[in-house]
Amino acid sequence: MSGVLRSEWTKLRTTSGTAWLLLGLVVATIGIGWLATAVTTCTHSDCFLDPTQLSLTGVQLGQIVVAVLAVMLFGNEYSTGLIRLTLAATPRRWTVLAAKALVLTGPVLLAAGVAVAGSVVAGRQYQSVPFRLTPVLGTVIYLALIALFSLGLAAIVRSAAVAIGIVLGLCYAYPLLAAATGDPAWVRRLLQIGPTTAGQNIMSTVDPETLAHAPWNGLGVLALWTAGTLLTAAVLLHRRDA
């Protein structure tokens, strides 16, 4: 396993895009969050302003950068045919998936930690963002789960392009449908099952009664999506020809 890990780490480390994408994650997340906190003013005394969530607005873009990084890790092996070599070297195929997941999680957790902490610090310049562990820690985990989810999808569809299309579609479908739907019961249902809409409850620090899920339950829904995707990927990787 350590050999597989080392080979996957080398692949990730030496791909020219990786460092840029991780840097992009940090810059995009902090930048958009800073902008959002800077331009927002609360004119009504009772406006539903959640400073923590506001300072984390950049995650909307940051998660896409994470997804690109994750789908390229698997998708590019298929587009170059490298996957055949990888699987020949490691006949126990699920270890390849596990190794990829592990080497992806480390750098993503690190960069996401910087991005989320930076967003909160940047947000404190304009809004009274409290230092709270749950949203910060939870959002870092959220980004890691998005990365693993994208990785699993790329392994299932065997193409970076199609995988990123599906990830983006899932990111957007639930909030857009919820915005267009009139029926409150359906809105709640949509927000509860969408991987991003459910997971993003973790960023919220307002009254949990108004949320679709309690923060950690919401993250649990995303974790279920991720686990299901990775499991399917493992089974398909084992069964199919590469």
Partner 1 sequence: MRAEWTKLRTVPAWALALPAAAVIIVLFGLFPGMQGSCGKPGSATECKPTTGPDGVEVRDSFAFAYRTLDGDGSITVRVAALTGELTDGPGLVPWAKAGLMVKDTTEPGSSYAAVMVTGARGVRMQHDFVHDKAGRKTPLAWLRLTRAGGTIMGEESADGTQWTVVNRVQLPDLGRSVVAGLFVTSPQHAEEDSNTFGVKGARGGPSQATAEFADLAVTGAWQGTQWTKQHIGGPGNGPGQGDPAGGQPGSQELTLTGSGDIAPAVTGAAGVGTSITTTLIGTFAGLIVVVVVGVLFASGEYRRGLIRTTLAAQPRRGRVLAAKAAVAGAAGFVAGLVAGAIVVYAGREVLQSNGVFIPAVPVATELRLIAGTGAMLGLTAVLGLALGMLLRRSATAITAAVVAVILPYLLAMTVLPTAAADWALRVTPAAAFAIQQSAVEYAQVANVYTPVDGYMPLSPWAGLAVLVAWTAVALSGAYYRLVRADA
Q: Which parts of this chain interact with partner 1 (CB under 8 A)? A: 17, 36, 39-44, 47-50, 53-54, 57, 60-61, 64, 67-68, 71-72, 75, 79, 160-165, 168-169, 172-173, 175-177, 179-183, 185-187, 189-190
Q: Give φ, ψ of 171 to 5 degrees.
A: -60, -40
Q: Is the dihedral of CA 108, 144, 175, 54 positive or negative?
A: negative
Local structure of 89: helix, strand or coil: helix
Question: Which one, 4 or 24, has the nearer CB to partner 1?
Answer: 24
Two tokens at 87?
């699987």
Q: Give φ, ψ of 207 to 5 degrees.
A: -50, 120
Question: Which one, 191 or 223, has the nearer CB to partner 1?
Answer: 191
Minimum Å gap between C-beta 69 and partner 1 is 9
What does the alpha-carbon distance between residue 96 and residue 224 come to, in Å, rounded to a whole number? 21
Name residue, tokens 């990365």.
Answer: 147
- Tell me how far the alpha carbon of residue 220 is from its chain's centroid: 13
What does the alpha-carbon distance between residue 232 and residue 226 come to, in Å, rounded to a whole number? 10
Q: Is the dihedral of CA 195, 37, 31, 116 positive or negative?
A: negative
Nearest alpha-carbon partner for 143 in 67, 51, 68, 217: 67
